[in-house]
Amino acid sequence: MIKIRRSNERGAANHGWLDTKFTFSFADYFDPRYMGFRSLRVINEDRIQADQGFPKHGHRDMEILTYVISGELSHRDSMGNGETVRPNEIQRMTAGTGVLHSEYSSPTDETHLLQIWILPEKADLTPSYEQKYFDPELKQGKLKLVASRGGDDGSVHINQDVKLYASVLNDGEKVSLDLPEKRYAWIQLISGTLDVNGETLNPGDGAAISDETALKLKAGSDNTEFLLFDMH
């Protein structure tokens, strides 16, 4: 079964410096039908104006992933990390028992990103941070594992039974993924057009997938970029 969450049906907020879309309930946006999917709790698509961002604030008991589409995001946290996240990188922060951090966009350009929250396997983990770069060729025409429990295949480690893949396909290119029994998937389309087992996704669309034995994905245009979550 494939249930599509259309881009124009998402929650939204525009603060001037921040234009954001909420796939699931977040902040002042609440929809009891969309509280998350399995352990996936948040997918926010943020467009942050140049030299703007989020002052120091706190999190706990959450696996937080940042995937920058364009621009860059400067990160500072109470663990002593100070890094800049750019396209083709993924950042993972385990909030655990509690962490404070700030995030600011490029000083000269708008920053476009996805921020993802995943519920951890257990509470009160030790806070930690990880960031990795992936050569664009690794996700061109294929599924590249970028986050997983155990940090398989050079991916960042997350404390949950989730495999996160990134991919960029050109028109007509295909990829597939087997889904064993009791595995679920979520696809978030960033750009282009994607056929998912006969269903068409457009930019900003998401798809909740259950009771499917395999995913067959085909791009309908060049530069079709998406994230695929394979989860318990």
Domains observed in the chain:
8-133 (2.60.120.10), 136-231 (2.60.120.10)
pLDDT digits (tens, 9 = 90+) for 104-152: 999 999 999 999 999 999 999 999 999 999 999 999 999 999 999 999 9
Largest CA distance in the chain: 48
Query: What backbone phi and psi angles, to 5 degrees, belong to 45?
Result: -100, 110
Separation between Cα atoms, residue 103 and residue 200, nearest integer Å: 34
pLDDT of 170: 98
Separation between Cα atoms, residue 118 and residue 34, nearest integer Å: 15
Separation between Cα atoms, residue 7 and residue 21, nearest integer Å: 8
DSSP code of 125?
Answer: P
Mean pLDDT, the chain, whole residue set: 97
Section 68-88 average pLDDT: 96
Separation between Cα atoms, residue 4 and residue 206, nearest integer Å: 6
pLDDT of 147: 98
Q: How confident is the model at residue 192 (pLDDT cuts 50, 70, 90)?
A: very high
pLDDT of 68: 98
Q: Could you tell me which residues are beta bridge partners of residue 140?
A: 168
pLDDT digits (tens, 9 = 90+) for 8-67: 999 999 999 999 999 999 999 999 999 999 999 999 999 999 999 999 999 999 999 999
How many CB atoms sit inside 10 A of residue 191's CB? 16
Q: 213 exposed, middle or buried (CB, 10 Å; 0-12, 13-18, 19+)?
A: exposed
Query: What backbone phi and psi angles, to 5 degrees, belong to 18?
Result: -135, 120
Are 203 and 221 in contact by the 8 Å Cβ rule? The answer is: no
Q: Could you write out the DSSP letters of every residue in 139-165?
A: TBTS-EEEEETT-GGGPEE-SSSEEEE
Separation between Cα atoms, residue 106 and residue 188, nearest integer Å: 24
Q: Could you tell me which residues are beta bridge partners of residue 177?
A: 215
- Which of 15, 158, 190 lies closest to 87, judged by CA? 190
